[in-house]
Structure 1
Amino acid sequence: MPAKIRKIIVQTDEVRMEMGREVVPPVRKALAMAVIDNPFAGRYADNLDELVAMGEELGGLLGARCVAALGIEPGQAHSYGKAAIVGEAGELEHAAAILHPKLGAPLRAAVEKGAALVPSSKKRGGLGTAIDVPLGHKDAAYVRSHFDAMEARVSDAPRATEIVVAVVVTDGGRPLPRIGGLQASDIQGVDGLR
């Protein structure tokens, strides 16, 4: 069964200046969120396959929305991350079912490749609850310049029987990175680490 989506929110963040210095090119992040009905709200179920299928659907949808918001080709994406906020009638395992088994593959397709694990976070909360969507380079987890996050929040969600699902895609790392480590230009992209 497809996800029952109440609303989709897409926003971008563009950093042009940091500590009085120009950021060239500007660092841009796109956040796409879907507010969906939780079919397991208020009841325990052993089998969460319905949520797993929704995660697969939303990975591609939200990933593509982020890429479109940035106005880039999929292969130009640098970082990604995912998160979910479950309303009070749900449980954290509902967020895990959406985020972990199948959301990653269609998200990777939306950004081309994606050899690295997709960083994630989850929590339970009410209307307006914020969550930080952790970010890492899509092809190499050891690229320190891309360790970052973007806050996700929907003012009227999640309702008790809803889940907010968020995906973030970037076209660069943090502004003015300078803590060393593997550089994006040196990625081998074979093992998801380097």
Structure 2
Amino acid sequence: MSADIRKIAVWVEETHREAGREIAPATRKAVAVAVIANPFAGGYTEDLTPLMDIGAELGEVLGKRCVEALGISPADAESYGKAAMVGENGELEHAAAILHPKLGAPLRKEVEKGAALVPSSKKMGGPGQDLDVPLGHKDAAYVRSHFDGVEVRMNDAPRGNEILVAVAVTDSGRPLPRVGGLTNEDAIGKDGLK
């Protein structure tokens, strides 16, 4: 792998009760985070191809870790998202280079299909700062029950010359969804919208 990885963390969030009601089965979100060295921290570089290549590697590694953490088959993944936070010596374009050109295709392979765009966010920050990872249905963007997010934080990352990269995968939508729209069961996933 070309990424200089300092650490990887994976965790699963389960919601068993919401608004006084039991959620059965529990809704689950897995997040895998890699803290990597930013090879372009501290200066302007025109060609960000190495970060794009790192994005492709991390899409596979982190997507696989999420699916494994949930203990599901790739076909059973329902939503996904991605986010990156650059340390103070980087720039937002470094996060964009990791997230956008190449990370999506390997992530889609790890969750089988993935016809919809992968929701994303990027920001600049420092150790212990929150990073919100937006979530959306992997095959049909109009499935409102899967408009969601998950928060990640690492107490020691990103340092000034690092990038924190996060991928999230779920096996369900929000607990107690009731705002209408297309359901997961009715989603076709042909055009990424319905």
Pick the TM interval, shorter chain: over 0.9
Which amino acid counterpart does residue 116 of structure 1 have in structure 2? Answer: A
Give the match for residue 127 of structure 2: 127
* Structure 2 counterparts to residues 73-84 of structure 1, below 5 A: 73-84=73-84
Give the match for residue 181 of structure 2: 181
Which amino acid counterpart does residue 137 of structure 2 have in structure 1? Answer: H
Distance in 1 between the 2:174 and 2:133 partners?
14
Task: Show structure 1 runs of 4+ deviating over 3 A.
Answer: none
1:152 Cα offset (Å): 1.0
1:185 Cα offset (Å): 0.7
Which amino acid counterpart does residue 84 of structure 1 have in structure 2? Answer: A
What stretches of structure 1 of length at least 5 have no aligned partner? none
Which amino acid counterpart does residue 13 of structure 1 have in structure 2? Answer: E
Give the match for residue 65 of structure 2: 65
1:184 Cα offset (Å): 0.7
Q: Could you tell me the TM-score, scaled by structure 1's length? A: 0.99
Structure 1 residue 151 corresponds to structure 2 residue 140: no
Q: Could you tell me the TM-score, scaled by structure 2's length? A: 0.99
Helix, strand or coil: the match of 1:84?
strand
CA deviation map 1:43-79 (0-9, x unaligned) = 1000000000000000000000000000000100000
Give the match for residue 94 of structure 2: 94
Distance in 1 between the 2:186 and 2:37 partners?
42
1:133 Cα offset (Å): 0.2
Distance in 1 between the 2:41 and 2:155 partners?
20
Helix, strand or coil: the match of 1:185?
coil
Distance in 1 between the 2:182 and 2:191 partners?
14
1:107 Cα offset (Å): 0.3
Which amino acid counterpart does residue 160 of structure 2 have in structure 1? Answer: A
Give the match for residue 41 of structure 1: 41
Distance in 2 between the 1:130 and 1:51 partners?
22
Q: CA RMSD in A?
A: 0.6
1:25 Cα offset (Å): 1.1
CA deviation map 1:103-158 (0-9, x unaligned) = 00000000000000000000001111111100000000000000000001111000
What stretches of structure 2 of length at least 5 have no aligned partner? none
Which amino acid counterpart does residue 174 of structure 1 have in structure 2? Answer: R
Aligned-pair identity in percent equals 68
